[in-house]
Amino acid sequence: MRRSGILLHPTSLLGRAGIGSIGKPARDFLQFLSDAGQQVWQMLPLVPTDDGGCPYNSTSALAANTRLIDLDDLCDDPYRLLSLEDLKYAPIPDHPERAEFKMAGDYKNELIQTAFARLVDSTDPIHRKLWQQFESFCEENADWLDDFALFDTLQAKQPEGPVWTTWPKGLRDRDPDALEAARDRFDDEIEWRKFAQFLFHRQWAALKARATELGIKIMGDVPIFVSHNSVDVWAHRDLFELDEKGFPGFVSGVPPDYFSPEGQLWGNPLYAWPRHAKTGYAWWISRLRAMNKLADIVRLDHFRGFEAFWRVASTEKTAINGEWVKGPGIEFFRAVKKALPNLEIIAEDLGIVTPAVEKLRKDADFPGMRVLEFGFPIDEPNDHHALHMHTPDSVVYCGTHDNDTICGWYDSLDEGMRDHVRRYLSIDGRDIAWQLMRAAESSVADLCILTVQDIFCYGTWARMNVPGVAKGNWTWRMVNTIPGWNADRLRELTALYGRLPVYNSPKA
């Protein structure tokens, strides 16, 4: 089935206090997708981030980013735990085109605590009904929510700092008495954090229901690794390669590649895959099951790491000196498919793709990714990213969140390479963003994903991420709504190459 979609993370939407939300801004974007004939909304991971906003280095693989909660919807819903009066002092960012993660977090957390206090103190029957829903949510999600809320609280309250390996031994090593004492001491702090997660999931359920009404599927993103300073590692130390004090001797990364001549030293702890195998990969299955509740499709990041991952000593300063170590392979995906037979997975198979990685993807029966910005090597005309080498079992991008925008990419090429691109596509390059998007839509790949930045024809300044660069990423925001004529233009392009829903219906 041929489909087309858009990549845009919700933090890049408009919204109060310098960040997008999953309220009206997200609903408006869903309507644009529908008007433009799109069937997929791809997002980055929806997990909590630090003040830098990186969604690939989270404190939890299962919790949600509560900065995305829409406060206006809390004023408008029947429970009215907030009023517009509460919101009138929202901070105004100095640079609206950049997300302000700390500003948004501080502002929204304060108002979420206000809303929770009102719910606790209320005797109104309608609020008691909401409280019962909250209690049910806590019970249904206790397997991850209890640990996350405690961990998040301890990060904020421990004088030793947020890193769990610096905490007193009892908390670091999860002594039951120490944990119970912490829960008693910080009960209120723990509860409002659970409530914040509850609010996110309520609003998300409404957003996803609207997407379903419009015939749009949500594509989520699951990073392969988790942060060392996360509740996942703290609560499941036996599933990671750590020493007796919780420190990793080896960490994750990738060797030198297109993005970085020194490789990328990610620094995440490595999985103790044999221990995962003994549990039937229960932790991973729980993680994917949770994502499947939020999304219809899952992009599995760094797929090649399941075949073999790059291991680097934690004392190294770059990722150059490392070695490939075998991953869990097909047995992992067999376990996932047995537990979650209806889960739709897309393999992010970029980077160093060996025949073994390609075999694993095909054995698992997952579509891979093709990126047109990689598809113009003069000396390798049969590179699998080149348009004429695409296959139906793939997802085509002009560029991903890790790439430059089309305009920025094209401007960065020397004239010889620009001439090669123009001759290959038989274009003049004067409207390069839409000309390359047209090429992507024409691909035989079953799914085509474009980015909002390219629809606007934005340059490098609107790039979402530069791999290997520690600061300044993830902050791009739309400061304007997308003009209606862009929806019409994109719908026409989508129709031209048979990607509209009507062309995939039983009557077509």
Which positions are annotated as active-site residues? 301, 348, 402
Task: Tell me the pairing of strands 368-371 and 308-313.
Answer: unpaired
Residue appearing with tokens 């003994």? 278
State the burial class of residue 265 (Cβ atoms within 10 Å of its Cβ: 0-12, 13-18, 19+): buried
CB 401 within 8 A of CB 457: no
What is the distance between the alpha carbons of residues 477 and 25, in angstroms, rounded to a whole number? 12
Alpha helices in 340-467 (DSSP H): 355-364, 406-412, 415-425, 432-442, 452-455
What is the distance between the alpha carbons of residues 399 and 404, in angstroms, rounded to a whole number? 7
What is the distance between the alpha carbons of residues 392 and 498, in angstroms, rounded to a whole number? 13
| Angle at the Cα of 404 from the Cα atoms of 215 and 14, rounded to 5 degrees | 50
State the burial class of residue 215 (Cβ atoms within 10 Å of its Cβ: 0-12, 13-18, 19+): exposed
What is the distance between the alpha carbons of residues 238 and 246, in angstroms, rounded to a whole number? 10
CB 281 within 8 A of CB 335: yes
User: Other CB atoms closer than 10 Å to residue 238's CB: what's the count?
Assistant: 10
Residue 132 exposure: Cα atoms within 13 Å on the Cβ side: 7
What is the distance between the alpha carbons of residues 299 and 294, in angstroms, rounded to a whole number? 13
3-state helix, strand, coil in the chain (%, to 5): 45, 10, 40
In the DSSP assignment, the letter for residue 451 is E
98: β partners: 476
